[in-house]
Amino acid sequence: MWATGVARDTWYGTVARPSPKPPSFLPRKSDRMTALNHTHDPAARSWVASANTPGTDFPIQNLPLAVFRHYQEDEAFRGGVAIGDQVIDLARVVVVGCLDGLAAEAALAGAYHNLNVLMALGPKAWQALRHGLFDLLKEGAEGPKVEALRSCLVPQVAVEYNVPAQIGDYTDFYTSVHHSANIGKIMRGDNGTDPVLPNFRWIPVGYHGRVSSIGVSGQEVRRPLGQYMPAGATAPEFGPCKRLDYELEVGMYIGQGNALGDAIALGEADQHIFGICLLNDWSARDIQAWEYQPLGPFLAKNFATTVSPWIVTMEALAPYRQAWERPAADPKPLPYLDDASNNAEGALDIQLEVLLQTPQRTAAGAGPVRVSQTSFRHQYWTAAQMVAHHTVGGCNLQPGDLLGSGTISGPTPSEAGALIELTKGGREPVTLSGPGAPDEQRGFLEDGDTVILRGWCEKAGAARIGFGECRGTVLPARSVA
């Protein structure tokens, strides 16, 4: 879906629309987002002082994108780029004319109320914008264009965000073998047989989700109502979900899509991914257990999905690529899911953590408690394989479509990406222990709980980059009277 409005606010006026027709080219191998270049230099610093602060999510090597506006102001949302504690207003960048050529065209495409037009322009345009801003933001950069860019900065504390794309379709995958094994044991018992279903090691399993209930970080999530079958009962009951859970995931936004009937080859799939965000796929486990056979989740998943506002580009993630590996005894993927480049660098080492903030801790003035930490590198299937499999039958992806990774769980119990795993189906509640408030226990989420997802990448010889936060708060169920 293309942007349908013209960006307007109280001082910029109207911004002319670029052609929405996406170019048909893909970049040469040497230009691809996996290649390292000067924007990855760990020694690079910015004249924006906060971008040089140790531990910042948004150094000059990151430059993620979002859509924002001044908090509670009557103005249009528009594209922005994070640098330190500031947002670069792309609509203002267009007005002051501090970029040239393809970078200027990309800034114009990003100046609207969603990023779909920019997503459709393709990897060369995304790279031109990133490199153009990087060169102007570097410490020591001078000249009238640098001064013009200074006028485009807005403090992040003064803004609010929206879902960054008009999402046409949302697909959620199921690609963690550790999560699959844990759930298999919980649902079917640990009877000594393989808890992972037979198709899991052959295909990236997925289902089509609901777009209308996707919200941005800060989303308030109403506890859903539905049917569930109590243990030992012979008929289902209706009422509020009693086993509300989160799922730690990342989301992948599609850039250039593919024509209906065509497929995206695995070796080209990364070039169709605009970037990655954090994603919480809220789940009603009791409703899910009753409804999921034979067609999969429905009400258990359609009430809310929360995404982080910032999208980290595939180019920014290039230093954190790793070889994709699977156990030697597992089946070799079918040819359309097997590619030398995917094997060599298909995995991404994105560190992830889940924190819980409870009403009791808030009342005591205490901070959230971390309940798990893991890495996206543990996923059994890569982002590129998800895209290739999604399109192999001819399904046409479009700019702004969102793919969820499925729950991300690592090989140890503390790396589980959902409470249902951490608590063995609620039978062994986790203890929330931290300074400033008494210990609490959780089997599943309670009303007032806030779930916070965080993600970052770091390693020796590369700058640390982050994703910001993805948070959502549970509200009580509506009355059924």
- The set of catalytic residues is 179
Sign of CA dihedral 174, 178, 182, 184: positive
294: preceding bond cis by omega (within 30 degrees):
yes
Phi, psi of 251 (to 5 degrees): -110, 145
Q: Is 453 helix (H, G, I), strand (E, B) or coil?
A: strand
Cα dist from 356 to 88, 183, 367, 446, 470, whole Å: 31, 22, 9, 11, 12
Cα dist from 83 to 66, 193, 275, 344, 480, whole Å: 12, 50, 17, 31, 47
For residue 371, what are its two tokens? Answer: 């309940």
Give the closest residue to 472 by CA, choosing from 360, 391, 325, 356: 356
The distance from CA 444 to its chain's CA centroid, rounded to whole angstroms, is 23
Query: How many other CB atoms are there within 10 angstroms of residue 30's CB atom?
Result: 7
For residue 290, what are its two tokens? Answer: 């009753």
Separation of alpha carbons 331 and 145, rounded Å: 55
Which residues have CB under 8 Å from 192's CB, separation 6+?
Answer: none
> Which residues pair with residue 474 across a beta bridge?
221
Separation of alpha carbons 411 and 400, rounded Å: 32
For residue 272, what are its two tokens? Answer: 């169709």
Separation of alpha carbons 45 and 61, rounded Å: 9
Separation of alpha carbons 327 and 329, rounded Å: 5
Question: What type of residue is 242?
Answer: K
For residue 377, what are its two tokens? Answer: 């590198």
Cα dist from 366 to 439, 447, 449, 481, whole Å: 11, 18, 13, 36
In sequence order, which ranges of 82-200 are alpha helices (DSSP H)?
A: 90-96, 101-109, 116-121, 123-137, 144-150, 177-188
Ordered DSSP codes for 101-114: HHHHHHHHHTTSSS
Beta strand 248-254 pairing with 225-228? unpaired
Separation of alpha carbons 466 and 134, rounded Å: 17
